[in-house]
Structure 1
């Protein structure tokens, strides 16, 4: 599950479209319209920038310019770069700012991979931590099926890079348990075994037990998590989902999942393994959900691998 940049709520997600255009780097496009190097960016890195637009029509070709290279660690392909960003709508008239993480006070994290336009894949690798990058994203950076839209201008201030997710829970076993539920921890990167076949009556409250206590920072409600998990139904041992079986962890904003996860994982240190019993009112309630019967108590074993 990819994270949409909250600050760009009013902007088409061109940033996450597969790029189909070429990257002109800091140069202007081959047409008469100016490119990224024609902008004047004011203000210091670490504060919301000011931007003077060039004369002429908005660019139709994407480009980037390194405003300040930075002096910290470099950004590599595959990194998750943490940035403060400000986005403008380049219409040649108002050129209005459409959002800034400096206003929301929440830096964003972007994976430098093939899911972002080529102009950004290259541009980010030309700056270091503490640097500033300006990128013009025109329609050539959108996927072929994406409707045409106005050109956007992004100013990215690089805060740092997100450490890669853990492979598995890495803390100390606590010996805690959840009555009626059995979890076997095989160790290493192997998936734990969850058994929920029981005659015990489930609690009508959320129950969270820490099986392995990690040593990382505590999960915040506003963060995006990377986790491995298995989910079963209390009493029947019926499994309805498992990221371990799919072979890759899941990633999602915590605020966008069921209440049981939101309440149960907030405050859990990264690196932990928890088992949660989630009553219907914090799960799917009276609604059947993808084969999960209505009014089911859900049980999850979860490894918290990263939070950002």
Structure 2
């Protein structure tokens, strides 16, 4: 019995050793033997060894490569090395780079910028199918324009519903281009023109009530800008508001930022603004102010030059002081 057990163990041990030897031989066959024949080969090899300093942590942090799969990394490295200078190789490697970019940046960015606030979550597989279809000019499902229009219809639906219901509310006035507004306070002052500088107090909200911008957030009591510097809906409303007015504006996306997502504002978003027009400055008034300032500065310089150092020439000092005083009163 003991002899039989010993014989069985001997056979098992031999089998394990043979298997290990076979695997080792197979691994050796997969490793290319490097032969260094001269100093250039040797120094190049040494430089390659040194160039890997910090590479493994970089692969882990930047690419998420598990060091247990370093053999696969080397396989990809060697394949790229052999193809990198061929037209096919360049296209293949670019495809892999862009695939990584799409997965890590483009899909998350599109989700955040265009679908923020919606109940839509992009499916990567379908996204990539549409992405590659457009590159090969496959219009079986959508042309570029059809895809854009379809996406707009989906993303604009909530905003269009909001504006449609808001239009039925008491006091809402609607302009031909779709701009809606409600007069909270009717001013009696002057109405600004496009190049006038308007002094306003405002607050901007999304249709869900989220405040995305306001004078208060700027840490100031008022903001100043010209109608020509702002979105179409603002420009149109400002040029209709008498000074002293306070209006609530309901701006369709076509008169706002449209398909362009801006900061916290998603694409295709209607915007709600409360705007109070405090005052107006005309361009010619600003020019006149500048002239007065320049003249005052000139008189100040004149005063400093003619101020006497002796009491015998006090007339110039008196006259120039008078000039300065007059400008201060203005």
Q: TM-score range by the shorter chain?
A: 0.3 to 0.5
Pick the structure with more helix per residue. 2
Higher strand fraction: Structure 1 or Structure 2? 1
Structure scoring higher RCO (CA < 8 A, sep ≥ 6) equals 1
TM-score after normalising by structure 2: 0.32
Q: TM-score, normalised by structure 1?
A: 0.34
